[in-house]
């Protein structure tokens, strides 16, 4: 199938431009309506709270009956669970009362309801009103340019700058809430939940992903030597998805300690991979400035020092003090320095909105090697296979600026910027 590009008849470009403009406009309208809905839900909660102290014909009633009653009224009228409505009322009150700038951005269609939820979730623990307002000023420009998924770790990192308590103190308190639980689901299924330190959770997920990926790789590239007494191995293909394989591997590891579902020969030890950026003063125990776990956000300095003690190698990052842009990576042991630099700078696929980690990305020349593009960091970027193929087999084009920002140009000629993850949380120091 021929890729859509400028050689196509103008009517196709006009139709696509009309569709995109229409969808953008509808998203703005939806956001405005969601802001209005949040204000109505907050007003409903206020009405319920006003009735809490009123005399009642039911003296033995539970204290939150007015809240339940109003939630049930709204739920019945909108065909929703009253429990869901009550949760939405609480979330709306938080947004309207504590995050007015975020509500205004939602009403103006500058952000989506998902972005607003990320901002309020990250900033909820900021008790001081002025500090919370300063956090909104810092985070809203990011929300206007990044997807909600990419915004989440950046918002956590920014919110941490405005917290009165250090992350080490908050982490020690939060660790006491670690737990494991199950929830029954329909059709003979159940859900397992685990709350634990972020570095352990991300490591568990990565280890299960590595085993699952090895199974998929073995399926795509079967070992012709996998035969027994002249008979071929089981010819039935493994049709499980990556998510299904991850779940199966996790069950095997928890129940038996071994990945029984892993492919032949893939049961060798697999180490989880996580990327942690640690300020040097925190590393030498002169400071407790938080470290940063790629894909999650800030973690406490004590945990980062424990991880550093077991690290097989070190990357040293030089950060521009004015812009937070990554300038250079070096290492005491000579290896593929450019790959390390890209992994540290990009953290994930550099197509707008994509969060595929760099361990599962290709390194691409912005200006192709065949066109004399240099093999330098300012001409390289990490792309997942999907977006790597899109760059080379469609009319999408990319240009890399000296600061590492990628400017993607769509087939319609629209330009979308993708900034390196390290620069997303640059903001003035807290007052």
Render pLDDT for 162-180 as a digit per residue (tens, 0 to 9).
Answer: 988 777 888 888 899 999 9
Which pLDDT value is given to residue 327?
Answer: 64
Sheet strands (E) in 208-325: 227-228, 231-232, 276-277, 291-293, 297-299, 316-319
Compute the Cα dihedral for 86, 198, 299, 324 and give only its sign.
negative
- Give CA–CA dist 356/354, Å, rounded: 6
Mean pLDDT of 313-326: 66
- 16-41 pLDDT, tens per residue? 999 999 999 999 999 999 999 999 99
Which pLDDT value is given to residue 233?
Answer: 46
Distances (CA, A) of 93 to 22, 29, 87, 160: 31, 21, 10, 23
- Give CA–CA dist 54/405, Å, rounded: 59
Q: Indicate the DSSP class of residue 395.
A: S
Distance, C-alpha 150 to centroid of its chain: 5
Q: What percent of the chain has pLDDT over 70?
A: 79
Residues belonging to the chain: 431
Which pLDDT value is given to residue 192?
Answer: 93
Residue 33, classed as helix, strand or coil, is helix
- 283-316 pLDDT, tens per residue? 766 677 788 787 777 888 888 888 777 776 666 6
**Residue 57: pLDDT over 70:** no
Query: How many helices and strands (H and E) does the chain possess?
Result: 14, 14
Which pLDDT value is given to residue 378?
Answer: 86
* Cβ-contact 95, 31 below 8 angstroms: no
pTM above 0.75, yes or no: no
Helix, strand, coil percentages, rounded to 5, for the chain: 50, 15, 40
Helix/strand/coil (H/E/C) assignment for every residue in 209-232: HHHHHHHHHHHHCCCCCCEECCEE
- Give CA–CA dist 339/217, Å, rounded: 23
* Cβ-contact 296, 156 below 8 angstroms: yes
**Please, which pLDDT band fits residue 232 given cuts at 50, 70 and 90?**
very low
Round the CA-based radius of gyration of the chain to a whole number and report it: 25
Best-predicted range by mean pLDDT (67-71, 101-105, 184-188): 101-105
Which pLDDT value is given to residue 223?
Answer: 52
**Residue 118: pLDDT over 90:** yes
- Give CA–CA dist 282/303, Å, rounded: 11
* Cβ-contact 346, 329 below 8 angstroms: no
- Give CA–CA dist 342/308, Å, rounded: 20
**Please, which pLDDT band fits residue 8 given cuts at 50, 70 and 90?**
low
**Range with lowest mean pLDDT among 59-68, 135-144, 310-319, 324-333:** 324-333
- 391-409 pLDDT, tens per residue? 988 889 999 998 889 999 9
For 199: left if phi > 0, alpha if psi spans -120 to 50, otherwise beta; the answer is: alpha
Residue 195, classed as helix, strand or coil, is strand
């Amino acid at each position: 199938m021929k890729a859509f590009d400028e050689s196509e008849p103008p009517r196709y470009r006009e139709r696509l431009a009309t569709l995109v403009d229409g969808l953008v406009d509808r998203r703005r309208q939806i956001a405005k309506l969601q802001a209005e809905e949040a204000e109505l839900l907050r007003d409903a909660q206020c009405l319920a709270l006003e009735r809490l102290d009123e005399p009642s014909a039911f003296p033995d009633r539970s204290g939150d009956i007015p809240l339940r009653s109003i939630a049930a009224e709204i739920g019945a009228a909108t065909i929703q669970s009253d429990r869901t409505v009550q949760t939405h009322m609480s979330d709306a009150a938080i947004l309207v009362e504590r995050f007015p700038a975020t509500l205004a951005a939602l009403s103006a269609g500058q952000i989506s309801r998902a972005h607003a939820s990320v901002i309020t979730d990250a900033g909820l623990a900021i008790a001081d009103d002025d500090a919370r307002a300063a956090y909104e000023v810092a985070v809203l420009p990011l929300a206007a340019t990044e997807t909600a998924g990419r915004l989440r770790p950046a918002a956590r990192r920014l919110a941490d700058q405005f917290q009165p308590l250090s992350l080490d103190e908050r982490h020690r308190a939060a660790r006491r809430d670690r737990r494991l639980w199950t929830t029954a689901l329909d059709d003979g299924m159940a859900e397992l939940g685990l709350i634990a330190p972020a570095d352990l959770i991300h490591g568990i997920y990565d280890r299960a992903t590595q085993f699952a990926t090895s199974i998929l790789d073995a399926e795509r590239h079967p070992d012709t030597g996998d035969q027994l007494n002249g008979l071929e191995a089981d010819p039935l293909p493994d049709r499980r998805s990556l998510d299904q394989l991850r779940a199966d591997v996790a069950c095997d590891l928890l129940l038996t300690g071994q990945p029984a579902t892993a492919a032949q020969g893939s049961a060798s030890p697999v180490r989880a991979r996580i990327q942690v950026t640690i300020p040097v003063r925190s590393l030498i125990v002169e400071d407790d400035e938080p470290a940063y776990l790629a894909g999650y956000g800030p973690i406490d300095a004590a945990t980062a020092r424990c991880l550093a003690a077991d690290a097989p190698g070190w990357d040293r990052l030089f950060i521009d003090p004015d812009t937070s842009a990554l300038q250079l990576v070096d290492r005491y042991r000579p290896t593929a320095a450019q790959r390390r630099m890209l992994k540290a700078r990009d953290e994930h696929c550099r197509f707008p909105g994509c969060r595929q980690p760099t361990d599962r990305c290709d390194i691409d020349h912005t200006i192709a090697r065949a066109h004399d593009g240099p093999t330098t960091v300012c001409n390289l970027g990490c792309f997942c296979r999907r977006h790597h193929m899109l760059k080379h087999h469609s009319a999408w084009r990319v240009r890399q600026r000296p600061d590492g920002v990628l400017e993607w140009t769509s087939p319609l000629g629209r330009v979308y910027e993708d900034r390196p993850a390290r620069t997303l949380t640059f903001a003035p120091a807290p007052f």
